[in-house]
Amino acid sequence: MILDRYFAKRFLFSFLMIGAVFLTLIMLIDLIEQLRKFEGVEVSFGQLFRLMLLSAPAAINEILPLLMILSTVVLFVGLARSSELVVTRAAGRSGIRALAAPVLVAMVIGGLAVSTLNPIVAATSNRYQQLVDTYRTGGPSALSLSGEGLWLRQGALQGQSVIHATGYGEGADSLVLYDVTILTYAKDGGPVRQMRAESATLTQDEWILGDVKVWPLVTGLNPETSAATHDILRIPTTLTEDRIRDSIGKPTGISIYDLPETIRELKRAGFATKRQEVWLQSELARPLFLIAMVLVGATFTMRHTRFGGTGVAVLASVLLGFGLYFIRNFAQILGENGQIPVTLAAWAPPIASILLTLGLLLYAEDG
């Protein structure tokens, strides 16, 4: 038990140290990127620094598997150089048994990533996008899917517009909303007009509305008697097709606690939910994948340094980790496209990774 606590502390210290180094590098690189992105826009350094802080949790969440591999490599290379692994084996404890503490720590970190970091990433990512839209256009843009349909909010210097559609379709080069209602607000917050259209097609910088009726919401006017109809009406927009397409199927902005209910609402509304279902199952399987990354790092580094080739072993462990990470992402894409079952797409890669690395470890330990 004392030895397990020692290994767990060493592994946790390595993880925190490497995480701090990567977090510092990520924040510096992201700050430079924010300076480049908002060049020519009146944004203060404090606002850019705030954007950098908001994007940091998502970056750390993305590189957690890499941090696990490197932490394991640092731990076991250090133990090998100090001959502590030799002493551990001489005391009658196998190398596989020495992995129990790092694996347990990885499981705890994975559980915290799912239960705590995931909601933080969802909140900070949404807030980041709101601030980006506000700094660029004077108001936030937003998109949400619910049982009532698709909701959009676009910002402009003149005011905000809220768009509701009961359905959408994706053409070869355009995105189309159906049964559209648009409520436009003035800059001071009051509504100025309401529009209802059979369809709305998004082009590069405007919505093209078809079969539209417009009601002015101005004091002193009767909206119905002052209403006008148009076969085609064009209104400017700050939204883009890529932004809407990504947001429609992008589950990263939804907390894992809200995701099951969101999936049920989307199903009731008739929207596809494969991407959300795969993301939910992948997040639940994340602790297993982090454990697999620990085993990957240990596979090539649990040996004495007198055998040489430490650099090659470290490189091999990192490359194998990247390979497993690529396979995991590829399986998720297949699951999102419906080519393999959701459960298989989310759980098969981490389980297969654990079995593969355990096989390599048993071969290295027992021959």
Q: How far apart are the two ends of the chain, measured CA to CA in Å? A: 27
Domain range summary for the chain, segments of one domain joined by +: 2-135+265-366, 142-238
Lookup: tokens for 88: 């551990």
Q: Which CATH architecture has domain 142-238?
A: Sandwich (2.60)
pLDDT at 93: 67
Is residue 263 within 8 A of residue 280, CB to CB? The reply is yes
Q: Lowest-confidence range among 148-157, 200-209, 224-233, 258-267?
A: 148-157
46 vs 172: CA distance, rounded Å: 41
On the question of pLDDT at 71 being above 70, the answer is yes
146 vs 251: CA distance, rounded Å: 13
What's the chain look like in SS3? CHHHHHHHHHHHHHHHHHHHHHHHHHHHHHHHHHHHHCCCCCCCHHHHHHHHHHHHHHHHHHCHHHHHHHHHHHHHHHHHHCCHHHHHHHCCCCHHHHCHHHHHHHHHHHHHHHHHHHHHHHHHHHHHHHHHHHHHHCCCCEEEEECCEEEEEEEECCEEEEEEEEEEEECCCCEEEEEEEEEEECCCCCEEEEEEEEEEEECCCEEEEEEEEEEECCCCCCCCCCCEEEEEEEEECCCCHHHHHHHHHCCCCCCCCCHHHHHHHHHHHCCCCHHHHHHHHHHHCHHHHHHHHHHHHHHHHCCCHHHCCHHHHHHHHHHHHHHHHHHHHHHHHHHHCCCCCHHHHHHHHHHHHHHHHHHHHHHHHHC
Q: What is the largest CA-CA distance in the chain?
A: 93
* Helix orientation angle between 45-62 and 118-137, rounded to the nearest 10 degrees: 150
Per-residue CA distances from 282 to 69, 79, 223, 290, 346 (Å): 19, 33, 50, 12, 5
pLDDT at 144: 59
Lookup: tokens for 146: 């619910």
* Confidence band for 138, pLDDT divided at 50, 70 and 90: low
- Give the burial string for 177-200 (b: 16+ CB within 10 Å, else e): beebbbbbbeeeeebbbbbbbebb
98 vs 245: CA distance, rounded Å: 47
Query: Percent of the chain at pLDDT above 70?
Result: 84
pLDDT digits (tens, 9 = 90+) for 250-301: 677 788 988 888 788 777 656 677 888 899 999 999 999 999 999 988 888 7
Is residue 274 within 8 A of residue 337, CB to CB? The reply is yes
pLDDT digits (tens, 9 = 90+) for 81-110: 777 776 777 666 666 777 888 999 999 999
Q: Lowest-confidence range among 131-135, 247-251, 258-262?
A: 247-251
pLDDT at 38: 82
* Confidence band for 17, pLDDT divided at 50, 70 and 90: very high
312 vs 175: CA distance, rounded Å: 49
On the question of pLDDT at 204 being above 80, the answer is no
pLDDT at 349: 93
303 C-beta neighbours (distance < 10 Å), count: 20
CA-based nearest residue to 143, from 172, 117, 171, 175: 175
pLDDT at 217: 83
